[in-house]
């Protein structure tokens, strides 16, 4: 991601580079912000018989966002509040920006949003984690997962059942065929096979990680065990594991739920905050305010994707949790 911030005008000039960058733009843009840039829309010039698709520079005040994490799709909808001089009849109408890698936009943040925390979120985007294709395999089930800074997507689950006499050979052949297809489609930076050693030996992938389980369970074992250490840290897995340990041994050193975390943040006690991405989008004012309090007292912020194991836990716990300093 490439970006510049004009703090006086509260303008973020941003160009997504990879599809994962769209997630962070989605986090940053709130209802009421202004987004501007080059776009294409139907336009009927005065005196023309028919409308045509015209490239124009305009700005919208954001009303809604539509984001699909693993399709690389981000749309920003709103009312046009500014448009280039030679275009008539567009002001006040609704328009949808399709945000795509390589196309620059500008985001004008509302006064309520602390720009320091915006920078912190952008720094998360700059920590470019390698895109990983994980093949989690055992003798009964194989899960192929795509792991990026956005989260974990289970692409396919292959089962080793009812295959006749050549069960294992057919099973391995299907795994290799599927892996080849996903490599072509996603172009990952790294391919890793993980699972019990005996089955792992039959898989033709260079980097192999022996572990207790394969299949879907093996995907989450891989993440929990920190075999990909940078991923574990950046995605908040390390902080989450410490939190679970403290909950069992020292409940007073952990805050659970937005209320408890807010109280601890006001006192400057938060060392690490886990906050659910859905909470940020549904309650932007409260979420940005909370993150700002943590940031100003030098706490670490982890934005957790709702589809992850940690995200599901946070959802049950009340959208946020924190490790406390004392």
Q: Which fold has domain 132-234?
A: Nucleotidyltransferase; domain 5 (3.30.420)
Which range of 17-26, 178-187, 195-204, 225-234 scores highest in mean pLDDT? It is: 178-187
* 304 vs 236, more confident: 304
Whether 2-126 shares its CATH topology with 132-234 is answered no
- pLDDT confidence bin for 162, thresholds 50/70/90: low
* 129 vs 159, more confident: 159
Asked whether the beta carbons of 139 and 199 are under 8 A apart, the reply is: yes
C-alpha to C-alpha distance for 323 and 308, rounded to whole angstroms: 19
* 249 vs 121, more confident: 249
Q: Is 101 exposed, middle or buried (0-12, 13-18, 19+ CB in 10 A)?
A: middle
In this structure, what is the dihedral angle of CA atoms 79, 83, 87, 92, given to the nearest 10 degrees?
20
**Is residue 87 scored above 90 in pLDDT?**
no
Q: What is the reported pLDDT for 265?
A: 96
Q: Which has the minimum average pLDDT: 27-36, 69-78, 161-170, 204-213?
A: 161-170
Q: What is the reported pLDDT for 226?
A: 60
Cross-strand partners of 34: 61, 108
Q: Which fold has domain 2-126?
A: SH3 type barrels. (2.30.30)
Q: What phi and psi, each to the nearest 5 degrees, are found at residue 49?
A: -80, -35
pLDDT tens per residue, range 269-324: 999 999 999 999 999 989 999 999 999 999 999 998 887 788 899 999 999 999 99
Average pLDDT over residues 65-74: 81
Q: Which pair of structure tokens corresponds to residue 167? A: 């069960």
Q: What is the reported pLDDT for 229?
A: 65
- pLDDT confidence bin for 131, thresholds 50/70/90: confident
Residues of the chain with pLDDT > 90, as a percent, come to 59
**Is residue 234 scored above 80 in pLDDT?**
no
pLDDT tens per residue, range 193-217: 999 987 898 999 999 999 999 999 9
* 111 vs 166, more confident: 111
- pLDDT confidence bin for 165, thresholds 50/70/90: low
3-state percent breakdown (helix, strand, coil) of the chain, nearest 5: 35, 35, 30
Domain spans, the chain:
2-126, 132-234, 237-324
Cross-strand partners of 224: none
**Is residue 113 scored above 60 in pLDDT?**
yes
Read off the DSSP letter of residue 129. P
Asked whether the beta carbons of 255 and 272 are under 8 A apart, the reply is: no
C-alpha to C-alpha distance for 99 and 27, rounded to whole angstroms: 13
C-alpha to C-alpha distance for 244 and 248, rounded to whole angstroms: 7
Q: Which fold has domain 237-324?
A: 60s Ribosomal Protein L30; Chain: A; (3.30.1330)
End-to-end CA distance of the chain: 37
Got the DSSP string for 215-244?
HHHHHHHHHHTTSSHHHHHHTTHHHHHHHH
């Amino acid at each position: 991601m490439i970006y510049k911030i004009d703090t006086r005008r509260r303008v973020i000039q941003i160009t997504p580079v990879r599809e994962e960058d769209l997630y962070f733009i989605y986090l940053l843009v709130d209802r009421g912000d202004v987004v501007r840039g080059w776009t294409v829309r139907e336009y009927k010039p005065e005196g023309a018989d028919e409308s045509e698709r015209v490239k124009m520079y305009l700005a919208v005040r954001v009303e809604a966002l539509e984001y699909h994490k693993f399709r690389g799709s981000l749309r920003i909808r709103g009312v046009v509040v500014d448009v280039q001089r030679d275009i008539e009849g567009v002001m006040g109408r609704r328009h949808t920006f399709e945000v795509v890698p390589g196309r620059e936009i500008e985001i004008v943040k509302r006064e309520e949003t602390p720009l320091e925390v915006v920078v912190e979120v952008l720094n998360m985007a700059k920590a470019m984690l390698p895109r990983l294709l994980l093949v989690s395999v055992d003798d009964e089930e194989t899960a192929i997962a795509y792991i990026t800074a956005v989260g974990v997507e289970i692409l396919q689950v292959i089962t080793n059942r009812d295959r006749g006499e050549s069960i294992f050979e057919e099973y391995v052949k299907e795994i290799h065929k599927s892996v080849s297809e996903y490599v072509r489609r996603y172009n990952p930076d790294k391919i890793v096979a993980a699972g019990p050693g005996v089955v792992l030996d039959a898989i033709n992938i260079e980097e192999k990680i022996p572990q207790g389980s394969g299949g879907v369970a093996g995907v989450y074992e891989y993440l929990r065990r920190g075999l990909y250490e940078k991923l574990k840290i950046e995605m908040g897995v390390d902080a989450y594991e410490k939190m679970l340990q403290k909950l069992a041994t020292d409940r007073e050193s952990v805050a659970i739920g937005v209320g408890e975390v807010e109280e601890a943040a006001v006192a400057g006690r938060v060392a690490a905050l886990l906050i659910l991405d859905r909470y940020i989008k549904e309650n932007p004012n409260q979420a940005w305010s909370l993150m700002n309090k943590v940031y100003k007292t030098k706490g670490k912020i982890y934005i957790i994707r709702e589809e992850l194991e940690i995200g599901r836990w946070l959802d049950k716990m009340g959208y946020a949790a924190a490790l406390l300093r004392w």
